[in-house]
Amino acid sequence: MQLRNQLAASLGFAATAAAQAYQGFNYGATNNDGSCRGYDDFRGFFERAKGLAGTEGQFTAARLYTSIQCGTAADPISAYQAAIDTDTQILVGLWASAGRAAYENELNALISAAKQLGTAFTDRIIGVSVGSEDLYRASPTGQQNNAGPGATGAEIEGYIGWMRDWFRGTLLEGKPIGHVDTWTAWVLPENAGVAASVDFLGHNGFPYFENTKPNSIDLAADNFWSAVQQTESVAAGKPVFITETGWPSMGPQSGDAIASVENSQRYYSQVGCALFGQRTTFWYTLVDANTAQTELSFSLTPLDSATPKFDLTC
């Protein structure tokens, strides 16, 4: 009953907050061995996502973490052209945890892409995210977990204002601007200014990792929706996109959470199938690519095969 009530409340919010719900996956700029992804890689993955058995072609969007092509200083990422050529919608991402100079390169790459590719590119933009989990990494919890360099709320607010200034008078003007983070970062008082300055909030939620409380697969759906409600509590009615969620099919035990194909499928069926078509969602993930998580596998398909690890029918 608790889950049903949470689900109804959350989906009701989603229906009023966004006119259209997109479904897609997260795509990093590199492979899990650290090698750079190029146009052929992105095109192949976008086509694979659309053709996944059992999904009726519903995965037609892509979330990116950077606008810069791997191996270059500030060239637009080749995923943009691949998205045009496969008619894939894009949640653009700019890396925002490497300082102002690196962020300026991100802005330059995105502006260049808009100039070079025109409306074929910009018409496919769902929104633009300034950073991903920067606030979490900068928080005491992130620092305690050695999560890496982050950015403060004040820095992210500044980057958002900078972006709005640079978008003025370009094909990117008016595109929704947001930020992606964990609920634990969104609810911190020092980050209220970020929530106030964005057009949408991205929510990354992994009950598997929340091992400071009971987090078995039996509790996963309730834990997921409880976390979403925390992010919604500071959203002031703005859309909340589910930008990352999933359950690993392989990996170490995390608290009560066990990684297995069976549990990955159960999480997909209980959480994913409730999200798809109702709320903009980027599942984690189509193909493993996180160089820091080589002992974990969240992918729905292996790198070298388009055959899903389990039945994806909802």
CA distances in angstroms from 53 to 29, 49, 282, listed in the order given: 25, 9, 18
Helix (H, G, I), strand (E, B) or coil at 159: helix
Q: What is the CATH classification number for the domain harbouring 67?
A: 3.20.20.80
CA distances 264 to 163, 250, 299, Å, are 37, 9, 9
Return the pLDDT at 9.
42
- Is residue 114 a contact partner of residue 169, using CB atoms and an 8 Å limit? no
**Would you say residue 84 lies in a domain?**
yes
Q: What angle do CA 136, 142, 147 make, to 5 degrees?
A: 105
Residue 51: inside a domain: yes
Asked whether residue 22 is domain-assigned, the answer is: yes
CB atoms closer than 10 angstroms to residue 73: 10
- Pairing status of strand 61-64 against strand 200-204: unpaired
Q: What region does 225 belong to: left with phi over 0, alpha with psi -120 to 50, or beta?
A: alpha
The pLDDT score that the predictor gives to residue 60 is 98
pLDDT at position 292, please?
A: 80
3-state secondary structure of 51: coil
In a domain, 6, yes or no: yes
Specify if 195 maps to a domain. yes
pLDDT reported for residue 19: 64
- What length does the chain have? 314
Q: Of 109, 118, 113, 91, whose CA–CA distance to 18 is shortest?
A: 91
Burial class (CB in 10 A: 0-12, 13-18, 19+), 90: buried
Catalytic residues: 133, 244
Model's pTM, two decimal places? 0.93
Position 306 in a domain: no
Q: Return d(Cα 121, Cα 135) in angstroms, integer.
A: 29
Q: pLDDT at position 184, please? A: 97
- pLDDT computed for residue 205 by the predictor: 98
Is residue 230 situated within a structural domain? yes
Compute φ and ψ for 288, nearest 5 degrees. -60, 140
Domain that holds residue 162: 2-210+226-245+276-283
The number of domains in the chain is: 1
Please check whether residue 268 lies inside any domain of the structure: no
DSSP conformational letter for 288 = -
Mean pLDDT by 10 residues, the chain (314 residues): 41 47 97 92 98 97 98 98 98 98 98 98 98 97 93 98 98 98 98 98 98 97 98 98 98 98 98 98 95 89 96 98
User: Which alpha helices (DSSP H) does the chain contain, by range?
Assistant: 2-17, 39-50, 79-86, 100-117, 119-122, 134-138, 140-144, 153-167, 183-186, 192-197, 220-232, 261-267, 273-275
